[in-house]
Structure 1
């Protein structure tokens, strides 16, 4: 059986533009949750993209629903694919790469492998997955679910969530918090530019960060 739910409301373009100024690692200084794990990494590390999560749950060797939804997705959507624990079959290859790119999909993240990385690079299609596999899914017409809550890399993702992905990983945010987190992260990145300039001018990192002062204070307390 196939479950096909309506597409979620997309993020405003201004929020997407703001998010794409943010490094996921900067948000890692702010949040401890929301990050996709499980060894999922970028095929194109130089790409940083943000978009609206449209979710897909497809089990085992069947990718029928993935092919179907490529006629439904919109420019600005970000495909988030739950493979239900399958680590053998690549559901995403060269044809899916081209179809997604032509549909305006911002990127894809898969809780499993992909294939045809050379085509992914040729199309410059931002993709995050667990690595390559030569064994592909088939059009078996068995089951799947579109736009339902999914689990990808240990992170729950709901349709309409904000997705930010770059060389360091993939971050999921609720639309209501995306702007505030993005603005805070951009401020941190701007402060980092100043910090790097101070280092170039001869200051030492532990003096700027306060690490040395904390160690001296802690050792002083023990001595007392």
Structure 2
């Protein structure tokens, strides 16, 4: 059975620009949920992008629906692919990387392997996946679903969610969360600049973070 739903509303440009300045690891200082499994890793290092989640679910050996929906993808979309637990067949490779570049996708997340890493890097569209595989999917027409809630890397992704990806991982947020989390993260990153200046001026890290006071207090209690 195939399910094909309408495209989600794209996120505001201002929100995307703000998220693009946020490091996923900064959010990881204050939040635990929304991060996809760390086994899903960046093929391109040192790239940080944000975009609107467009979701796809396709079974192990079949990528017919992926080929079918590619023309519907828009500039700034972040394609998120649920592979139904398959870790053998690569649904993403060089040809699709070239298509993604032409469509100006923000990025692609595949909860499974990909192939043609050299071509993916050459095209420059950021891809996150579970590593390489030489065994590819085929156009079989078995089943699939487009723009439905999916599960990728242990995280539920809903069409229209905000997606942020960099070399440390991938974070998925609802649009209302994304604004709040993004603003908080920018504040933390600004505070880190101040901390680095204090360290350069000779202050000690545990004195700045409060670790000195905390540990010495615990030691006094133990005495």
Question: What interval of TM-score do these two structures reach, taking the shorter chain for normalisation?
Answer: over 0.9
Return the alpha-carbon distance in structure 2 between the equivalents of residues 175 and 33 of structure 1: 15
Return the alpha-carbon distance in structure 2 between the equivalents of residues 103 and 141 of structure 1: 24
- In the TM superposition, residue 199 of structure 1 has moved relative to its aligned partner by 1.1
Return the alpha-carbon distance in structure 1 between the equivalents of residues 104 and 199 of structure 2: 42
- In the TM superposition, residue 38 of structure 1 has moved relative to its aligned partner by 4.9
Return the alpha-carbon distance in structure 2 between the equivalents of residues 53 and 2 of structure 1: 19
2:2 paired with 1:2: yes
Show CA shifts across 1:48-106 (max 9, x none): 00000000000110001111111111111100000000000000000011111111211
Q: Hey, which bits of structure 1, 4+ residues long, moved more than 4 A?
A: none
The residue number in structure 1 matching 2:93 is 93
The residue number in structure 1 matching 2:52 is 52
How many residues are treated as equivalent by the alignment?
223
Task: Determine if contact 1:61/1:136 at 8 Å carries over to the other structure.
Answer: yes
Task: Determine if contact 1:38/1:154 at 8 Å carries over to the other structure.
Answer: no
The residue number in structure 2 matching 1:143 is 143
Equivalent residues in 2 for 1:70-109 (5 A)? 70-109=70-109
TM-score, length basis structure 1: 0.98
Return the alpha-carbon distance in structure 2 between the equivalents of residues 19 and 69 of structure 1: 26
Give the secondary-structure state (helix, strand or coil) at the position aligned to 1:121.
helix
Return the alpha-carbon distance in structure 1 between the equivalents of residues 84 and 107 of structure 2: 20
RMSD: 0.8
The residue number in structure 2 matching 1:190 is 190
- In the TM superposition, residue 197 of structure 1 has moved relative to its aligned partner by 1.3
Give the secondary-structure state (helix, strand or coil) at the position aligned to 2:136.
coil
Show CA shifts across 1:99-141 (max 9, x none): 1111121100010000001011101110000100000000011
Task: Determine if contact 2:53/2:158 at 8 Å carries over to the other structure.
Answer: yes
- In the TM superposition, residue 164 of structure 1 has moved relative to its aligned partner by 0.3
- In the TM superposition, residue 222 of structure 1 has moved relative to its aligned partner by 2.3
Give the secondary-structure state (helix, strand or coil) at the position aligned to 1:137.
coil
